Amino acid sequence: MATTVARVTQISSRSEVSFEDAVAGGIERATQTLRNVQGAWVKEQKVEVREGRITAYQVMLEVTFVLDD
């Protein structure tokens, strides 16, 4: 029986549009560098505020990818 080993790495992603856009952008960028990305956990969310308005959305993602044999 084969064993699968995965690694988890933490990345930060920021968007001026939405949390969803920040997550999508983070995953898109992670897959340009990491192979075999299997999923991600949104660990933290925060917003930037200027003059009482939200100006940006930021997420901390824990991205899981399977290591090559």
* CATH number for position 39: 3.30.1660.10
| Domain housing 37 | 6-66
Please indicate, yes or no, if residue 1 is contained in any of the structural domains: no
Task: Classify residue 50: in a domain, yes or no.
Answer: yes
51: helix, coil or strand? coil
Model pLDDT, residue 14: 98
Rounded to a whole number, what is the distance in angstroms from the first to the last CA of the chain?
Answer: 14
CB atoms closer than 10 angstroms to residue 63: 21
Q: What is the pLDDT of residue 69?
A: 78
Query: Both tokens of residue 44?
Result: 């933290």
Q: Is the pLDDT of residue 1 over 80?
A: no
Looking at the structure of the chain, the number of domains it has is 1
Task: For 13-65, write each residue's pLDDT tens digit.
Answer: 999 999 999 999 999 999 999 999 999 999 999 999 999 999 999 999 999 99
CA separation for the pair 14, 25 (Å, rounded): 8
Model pLDDT, residue 68: 87
Structural domain contains residue 19: yes
Vertex 16 angle, CA 20 and 54, to 5°? 100
